[in-house]
Chain A
Amino acid sequence: MSTEPYILLSAILFTIGSVGVLVRRNAIVVFMCIELMLNASNLALVTFAKANGNLDGQIAAFFVMVVAAAEVVVGLAIIMTIFRTRRSASVDDASLLKY
């Protein structure tokens, strides 16, 4: 087994996730793309754990999962609140603080 393909796959997935955050307008899909980026970094961490022969990488991936779960809960609650008041889930509509 070599490390490089795994890290390259992780980089590709991260890039796709970041393009998704920039391109998509639906706040929920933007959130999904953030999850994709977190997952891509997790893959790199787990691969490095195997390459280095200790489990610290897996612990780090575990913590990333916990933080991602907390982040999704709060983020989706915010999206729900915005949708309830503005009847829209588009990231462009929540621009009140701009002016």
Chain B
Amino acid sequence: MTVFWILAPIMVLAALCILFVRKAVHAALLLAVVMMSLAMLYASLDAPFLFAVQIIVYTGAILMLFLFVLMLVGVDASDSVVETIRGQRLLATVLGLVFGATLVIGLSQVTWGTVVGLDEANAGGNVPALANLLFSKYIFAFEATSALLITAAVGAMVLAHREKLTPKEKQPEAAARRMREYAETGRHPGPLPAPGVFARHNAVDTPALLPDGSPSQESISRVLAARGTIRSASVDDVDDVQRQLSATESSESSESSDRADEQEDGQ
């Protein structure tokens, strides 16, 4: 029971955090915490086979699949805060609390019999005992499972496969398309501006400044914009430079103020 009382608060806390975290990756990691704790609970409940299967199948395979899909879907897929149905969150929370209270009250009224324990059933080892059951009493369910797994594998392949309807765009076609776009819409055919140019330090998360001092949104990666990790190099930095220059100006002659004006013009 010591294992249980250590793990249960961790599990409930991690599960509750899944409801509140903004990013899906954090939810996946919290779910991994819950599943590993469950595996340990299985071990304490005399189920060593399920302990291994829980770690291998759930944390090993299913959660990795979740993380793969999160990687493919990308960071743009964060939750929106706007409610489609008004008051949905509140209602869902109230309903959930009522449901939980019903479950807990119902369970507290049940009289639990004495625990028999698995010492007798596990006498020849847990895995041989499970295998005996699986290949005798549950053989039809086992066979149906194989059909289910085949169907799932084929279904995933069909759903995830994308037929290529148009030929792949190669370098000549790309060049022709860029020039056509330039002729039709006036879009610049060359590469996008590099980040960090005219900013105080060169970094991919700092947008380039246009001649009028405004940051160029085209110069930074869309992914960084979605993550919200873009550093501004606009007004603050210009002010900073001005302040530094005025500090040196107080000690030096009026020659440096010309330089400050020059710097401002340059920015």
Q: Which residues of A contact B (CB under 8 A)?
A: 1-9, 11-20, 22-26, 28-29, 31-33, 35-36, 39, 42-43, 46-47, 49-56, 58-59, 61-63, 65-74, 76-81, 83-84, 87-90, 92
Nearest CB in chain A: distance from B150 CB, A: 9
Say yes or no for B247: interface residue by CB 8 A criterion.
no
A9 to B2, CA, bound (A): 14
How many chain B residues sit at the interface, stated as a range, is 35 or more
Is the CB–CB distance between B58 and A59 below 8 Å? no
Nearest CB in chain A: distance from B194 CB, A: 27
Is the CB–CB distance between A66 and B148 below 8 Å? yes
Say yes or no for B92: interface residue by CB 8 A criterion.
yes
Kindly supply a per-residue 1/0 record for chain B positions 87-99, scoring 1 wherever the CB is within 8 Å of any chain A CB and 0 otherwise.
0110011011001
Q: List 15 A-B contacts (CB under 8 A).
A: A8-B104, A9-B12, A12-B15, A16-B19, A19-B95, A20-B18, A22-B95, A35-B58, A36-B31, A51-B116, A58-B50, A65-B53, A74-B156, A81-B160, A89-B73
- Known contacts A22-B92, A47-B45, A65-B58: A53-B77 contact under CB 8 Å: no
Q: Which residue of A lies closest to B100 (CB)?
A: A15
Seed contacts A2-B115, A11-B103, A51-B112; 19 additional CB < 8 Å A-B pairs: A9-B8, A12-B104, A19-B92, A20-B19, A23-B89, A25-B80, A26-B79, A36-B18, A46-B50, A49-B118, A51-B113, A59-B138, A68-B62, A72-B66, A73-B152, A73-B155, A81-B160, A83-B77, A84-B162
Main secondary structure of the interface of B (DSSP, over half): helix
Q: Which residue of A lies closest to B21 (CB)?
A: A29
The residue that A13 contacts in the complex, of B15, B28, B96, with Cβ under 8 A, is B15
- Known contacts A5-B4, A59-B130, A65-B57: A16-B77 contact under CB 8 Å: no
Main secondary structure of the interface of A (DSSP, over half): helix
The residue that B107 contacts in the complex, of A8, A18, A51, A62, with Cβ under 8 A, is A8
A14 to B73, CA, bound (A): 27
Is the CB–CB distance between B130 and A58 below 8 Å? yes
Is the CB–CB distance between A15 and B99 below 8 Å? yes
